[in-house]
Structure formats: C-alpha cells, structure tokens
Structure 1
C-alpha cells in the first residue's frame, strides 16, 4: 500500500514544498530556489522509482511545471524571452530525476520479463521431453502389454520376454523423467544425462521392432553430427515411430534413412500404411511441434502421404547449443 500511494505522496509533497517556502519566506531567493528544485527532483525520482506506473507521467509533469513556475517567480525582473529560456533550462532536473528513478525500474522490469521467458522456455522443454521421449516409451509399454495379454493363454512362454521389454521401456521412461527433474532443479549440466542422439538410434529401432511385428529397416549413413542436431533427429525418428504405432495399424514395413554430416542431417521415415491422412494427423501436437522446431532452426520439415504410405522428411541444419 505504501508503494502504491508513493506517487501521489510525491506529487503532494512536491507541490507543497514551494508553496510553504514562499509563504514562510525562508532564506535568500537563490538558496530557496536550489532547495525547492532539489526537493522536487528527489521526490520525482522516488515517485518514478517506486510509485504506480500510471502516476509517473503526472509526477514528472507536475514537478517540471513547479520548477518552471518557481524559477519564473524568481526571475521577475528579467525580460520575458530570457525568463522563458531560463524556465525551460531549469526543468532539466525533472528530466534527470525521471531518468534516475525510471532506469532502475526499467531494469527490474526487463529482468522480470527475462525470468518469465526462461520459465516458459523451461516448461516448454519439459513438455517436449514428455511428449518426445516419455510418450514414446509409454506407447511401447502399452503395445507390449497388449501383446502379452494376447499371447498369455496360447503362448505362455512369450509373456516373459514381453514383460521384460515392458520393464525396459518403463525404466527408460523413468530415466527420462529423472533427467527432466534434474533440469527443473537447475542441476549442474554435467550431472544431467544428455539427450539421446543418432548414436542411440539402433537401440531405439530394436525396442520398436521388439514391441511389434513390423519389418523395420534402419539405414544410418550420417557422419559425425553435432549433438544438438543429432538430438533433434532422434526426436523426429522417435515421434515418427510413435505415430506408426498409434495411427498406422495396417503398416507392415518401416524404413528409416539418416544421411548427412557436420553441415546437417536429413531424416526420412516412411511406412506402407494405407491409413487416410485425416486419421494419421490425429493425436496431439508432436509433428507440428517438431515442424516448428526444425523450421526455427532453419531447416525444412514435411509429413504426409508418400509413394507407398506415410512419410516424414526433415532436413536439419547445424543446431547451435
């Protein structure tokens, strides 16, 4: 409440100071003028620094007007043009007070905006990780559980390996969530497990292949790829495979091709599903989010019907850390 009323308090005190000085007739005119100007400038700076934002313009305007009026009264014996020039010059302290009080306030505002943006970026990063990695592992758990329930009666011996794969997918999801919790706690980046990159694509494909009956082919001809570009490529493959599992029940074959090197990487994931495009586009913002990220990095992204089914193609440039 005190900060809220400080703007009006500053204006009231600033207006009262010259009035009281004139009424009491305190001191010599030059000294009195300096006292009035100093007091008004200090009150203006305080009101601008801590007062409500809507009071800044009235405070500055009233302070400048008060300084000009006081000087006008002190220069009664001077010609009018010179009095006008002197009044204009001596309103400078009001402008200086405005800067002195406004600059720290502006810096605090910018800092608050930066903190809000950082928090939003962190939330978006967590949401992306949840979708790109945890959702992929959970969809694998669901597929394995469905397969285990299907063969439990006819082939009991197949239930054990299915449960082992469910356990592995669950542990992978927990590992991803541990990494996100570490990031939220502002842990040392050296202690947080890095995002998977292209080196882990074979393991991803093996888990996907084991969770179903699809013929999955991986062609990985990419040379050394920057970590951030490789992580984005891994996300694209994981999201494409998740969509195959969720939206392409009729698919029997998936082909994954990764080419490129230090200048960038191209990812192509295609299947032989005959599902219609509207059905393939259901189920969240995974592909649209990937498209936004690839485009923001200066690359290209497309997802739609291909020569034999559904195809996801991404051309990813070097992504800076």
Structure 2
C-alpha cells in the first residue's frame, strides 16, 4: 500500500498551524515557538507547490497566521498593539515568502505540462498532415487505377494487368507512409524518427504518375534547406493528388524544379482535362484543404505558394523557396 505524501501536506500544515497558535496563546517558551516556525515555513512551501487549491488556501492561511502570531503575546505584555501588529507583519514576511516560492514552482510545473500538451497536440497535427499528404496521394492513385482497370479489363487484359501492378505499387507506398507515421508515434519521446521524404524521392513519385514528366535541376535541389526540401516534396504530392482527384483525364502533368531569380521554384502544371473525364473519384470527392494547409508550411520555410488556372485551361501550382544561403542569411 503506497502512501501519497503530497496529499498529506495540507492536513499536516493545518494541524501544525493549530498547534502553533494554541502554543502561542498558552505562552509556551519563545524558543519552542521560534523552532516550531521552521517546520511551518517548510510545510507552507510544500502546500503551495503540491496541494489542491481549495485545501491549500485554508491550510496556507492558518500556516501564515501561526508564523505571524507567535510573537504577539510576548510583545503585547511589554508594548502597545501597534508594536504587536508590527511584529506580526514582520514575521508574516517569511511565511508569505515560503508561499511565493511554492507558488512559483507550481506555476513553472504547470507551464511545463502545458508546453508538453502543446507539443503533443502539434505532433498529432503533424502526423495528421503526413497522412493526408502522403497516404491520400497513394490511395487516390489506387482508386483511379482500379477504375481504369475495370473499364479496360474486357477489351485489353494487358492494360488491366499493368493497372493492377500500379495499384500494388501505390498500396505498398501507402503502407510505407503509414509505417513512418507509426514509427514517429513510437519513437517521438525516445529517439530520432524515420526520415521524411524529400525531393530525392520526386523522380519515383512522378514515375508512378502515368502522364507525369519531370524536369529537375540537381543543383537547384541541393540549394534547398532540409525544411524547404521536405516541404517542396509535400507540395508536389498534394498537387499530383489534386490532379488525380479533379482532372484525372489530363494528358500531361509537368513537374519542374529549377532556379527562379534568387530562389528555387517547384511547379506542377497539368493540362485541361477533357470533358466528361471526371470519373467516379471526381464526382464523389469535393476539393480538400491540402494546399491551403501547406501554405503555412511553405511560408514557415521562407517561401511562397501560388495556385491558379494555367494559360491552356489547366491548373498550375507554384512554390518558390529561398536558396539555402539566402535562407540562412
């Protein structure tokens, strides 16, 4: 059976304070009363730090009164009531100081717990964004390929087999993304998490996109900071996911990473989808808030994000990040 000593601080202070007040009224030897004030000050600090507010208020008031009032009977015999009040006020100062010390430690502990809660909430939001950015892309690819396989299975079984292979690849990628998320949950407090994909994985991402083409300047990619690199990959994932959702019939999707003035530009541009090519996915899904959510990430990395219609009626997503030397400067 374990005893919670912290729960006993307030009752112990209450009892000790009542004993001290009674001893002062009975005019026990002053040396005993002075020595008794020491444990009272310690208990005052402990109660202010650990006890519940309601019980701490009552016990603390009695404790301060016991420390402040012990010299009053002695002064009252040889002086006036003003001197007695002055003695009580003087001895109330260390009692209030003990309360302030305990209250300060309590406040610091509360702030630490709040910081931990905020960090956990931010981590949960981060994991939710990871699931949206990466898993949603692969799942939408699975849905589109399954639709395509259903329509071509009777006329061209070979195309259906290739669609099934792409479904398998997208499914494995989604499982890998979920594995990274679970790994992050398990390792968040004990060690480094699994690496977040960056533009090094962009060729593989575009290759899984049937009509996608990639034009990436390796030197421009190397000039991105780590934060900008992972954020740019997220932007590409979200842009390609939106193409699958809203323009699955687009014949060409161009992904490019290149220098743009003093910065590095990632652009994803798709041509206009033919009429009636929305597919089941396009009719059932509404536009999400992925790019809107990524805008804050891009700005945090020092960049800008723009999305809007392209000249040929398609859609363009353009994110510009500072080169690493400008970002550090």
TM-score calculated relative to the size of structure 1: 0.81
Could you give the per-residue CA deviations for residues 112-150 of structure 1, whole angstroms, max 9, x where no partner exists? 223322322322222122111111111111111111111
CA distance in 2, matches of 1:269, 1:83: 82
Q: Is the 8 A contact 1:17 1:36 kept in 2?
A: no
CA distance in 2, matches of 1:94, 1:164: 76
Tell me the equivalent position of 2:320: 315
Tell me the equivalent position of 2:279: none
CA change 1:10–1:137 in 2 (3 A) is same
Picking from 289, 304, 310, the partner of 2:308 is 304
Tell me the equivalent position of 1:41: 41
Could you give the per-residue CA deviations for residues 243-268 of structure 1, whole angstroms, max 9, x where no partner exists? 0110124533323232249x853222
Could you give the per-residue CA deviations for residues 181-205 of structure 1, whole angstroms, max 9, x where no partner exists? 222111743xx54222112212111
Aligned to 1:112, the other structure's residue is in SS state: helix
Please give the residue correspondences for 1:52-201 in structure 2 after superposition, counting only pairs within 5 Å: 52-76=52-76, 77-78=78-79, 83-186=84-187, 188-189=191-192, 193-201=194-202
Structure 1 residue 55: Cα displacement: 4.4
CA distance in 1, matches of 2:263, 2:107: 41
CA distance in 2, matches of 1:36, 1:193: 58
What number of residue pairs does the alignment pair up?
A: 306
Tell me the equivalent position of 2:288: 284
Structure 1 residue 43: Cα displacement: 2.8
- For structure 2, the 5+ residue unaligned runs are 275-282
Q: Is the 8 A contact 2:142 2:170 kept in 1?
A: yes
Q: Is the 8 A contact 2:180 2:194 kept in 1?
A: yes
Aligned to 1:47, the other structure's residue is in SS state: helix
CA change 1:298–1:91 in 2 (3 A) is farther
CA change 1:202–1:84 in 2 (3 A) is same
Tell me the equivalent position of 2:247: 248
1:16 aligns with 2:23: no
CA distance in 2, matches of 1:229, 1:97: 50
Aligned to 1:63, the other structure's residue is in SS state: helix
1:231 aligns with 2:230: yes
Structure 1 residue 80: Cα displacement: 5.6
CA change 1:15–1:194 in 2 (3 A) is closer
Tell me the equivalent position of 2:277: none
Structure 1 residue 107: Cα displacement: 4.1
Q: Is the 8 A contact 1:60 1:94 kept in 2?
A: no
CA change 1:282–1:265 in 2 (3 A) is farther
Q: Is the 8 A contact 2:23 2:33 kept in 1?
A: no
Structure 1 residue 20: Cα displacement: 2.2
CA change 1:23–1:188 in 2 (3 A) is closer
Tell me the equivalent position of 2:214: 218
Could you give the per-residue CA deviations for residues 55-100 of structure 1, whole angstroms, max 9, x where no partner exists? 4455444433443333333322245655544433322221332244
Aligned to 1:185, the other structure's residue is in SS state: helix
CA distance in 2, matches of 1:129, 1:253: 27
- For structure 1, the 5+ residue unaligned runs are none
**Which has the larger displacement, 112-121 or 171-180?**
112-121
